[in-house]
Amino acid sequence: MTTSSTTGGAPTGADAPLLTARGVQRKFGGLVAVDVEEFHVRRGTITALIGPNGAGKSTFFNLLTGFDRADAGSWQLDGRTVTGLPAYRLAQQGMVRTFQLTRSLADLTLEENVLLAARGQRGERLAGALFGRASWRRQEADNTERARELLARFGLERMAAEPAGVLSGGQRKLLEMARALMCEPRLLLLDEPMAGVNPRLVETLLDHIRQVRADGTTILFVEHDMDVVAGISDDVVCMAFGTVLATGSPEQVMRDPEVIDAYLGSDEPDDDAATAAGTERRA
């Protein structure tokens, strides 16, 4: 797995991108929302998917993560085709996205939320039935211990027994990360992680994201705000009108005249701009 090969045109092994996508299309009636010829996420990076409102970022993200169905295209995680797999199958392969906290999850405690993520995203485990009670109990104890460690890591341990609904917008983002990390992902996909987060908490959140990368998890996140992206990303992919306009370092992409035009040309405020500006959002 450490050798590089040019067979078939794509590198393999440690230098190969962790995620690659080709020819991905999604149409809504006559509108081509996504038309991505080529896209990749390098292993060990924080990669930002940026672009003005309506660029197709969320749609592309939803396709990759099994929440919407592509009309064309294929994508691979670590060389394995995962095109169109549902979220729980992707999680089994090591590709996990964060989820917005829904109403039902808001009624559960923080600890229950994190534990549930492990079960839900790994698929229903029948370990209890298959391997007997002792092993199942050990598994449950391990899960609980890991859930508590994760809550502690994000500074939420004192609230472990509280319903998630009491959390602020920023704390919810931290809980979402804890839930995703419960699955020990190779690739963590974050959908606008800074949206709705109090500016005071943004730096904390960014530090956590850096730490997740330092621990060996590759990160792809969607963000429309270029300033947020500049300080944290290794690679930036900019979309507009469904296509990839530019790919490169933050400096390269932000200097790109097409990228600048795309941003200047989008005078409509983004749906999330208001929340990103500091107001906290409650579900």
Tell me whether residue 53 or residue 93 sits nearer to ligand ADP (CB atom).
53
Q: Does residue 171 belong to the site contacting ligand ADP (CB under 6 A)?
A: no
**Span near ligand ADP by CB under 6 A; candidates 26-34, 76-84, 160-168, 212-220:** 26-34
**Span near Mg ion by CB under 5 A; candidates 27-35, 51-59, 97-105, 118-126:** 51-59
Looking at residues 34 to 73 of the shown chain, list those that interact with ligand ADP (rule: CB under 6 A). 51, 53-59
Closest contact distance (angstroms) between CB of 26 and ligand ADP is: 8
- HEC profile for 14-51? HHCCCEEEEEEEEEECCEEEEEEEEEEECCCCEEEEEC
> Which pairing describes strands 95-97 and 187-191: parallel, antiparallel, or unpaired?
parallel
Site of tokens 């959390």: 167
Q: Does residue 58 belong to the site contacting Mg ion (CB under 5 A)?
A: yes
Closest contact distance (angstroms) between CB of 158 and ligand ADP is: 35
Q: Does residue 59 belong to the site contacting Mg ion (CB under 5 A)?
A: no
Closest contact distance (angstroms) between CB of 27 and ligand ADP is: 9
The binder of ligand ADP chosen from 13, 14, 15, 28 (CB under 6 A): 28
Gap between the Cα atoms of 192 and 49, Å rounded: 10
Closest contact distance (angstroms) between CB of 236 and ligand ADP is: 14
Closest contact distance (angstroms) between CB of 102 and ligand ADP is: 19
**Span near ligand ADP by CB under 6 A; candidates 27-35, 104-112, 125-133, 138-146:** 27-35
Tell me whether residue 53 or residue 243 sits nearer to ligand ADP (CB atom).
53
Closest contact distance (angstroms) between CB of 197 and Mg ion is: 16
Tell me whether residue 60 or residue 75 sits nearer to Mg ion (CB atom).
60
Binding site for ligand ADP (CB under 6 A): 28, 31, 33, 51, 53-59
Binding site for Mg ion (CB under 5 A): 58
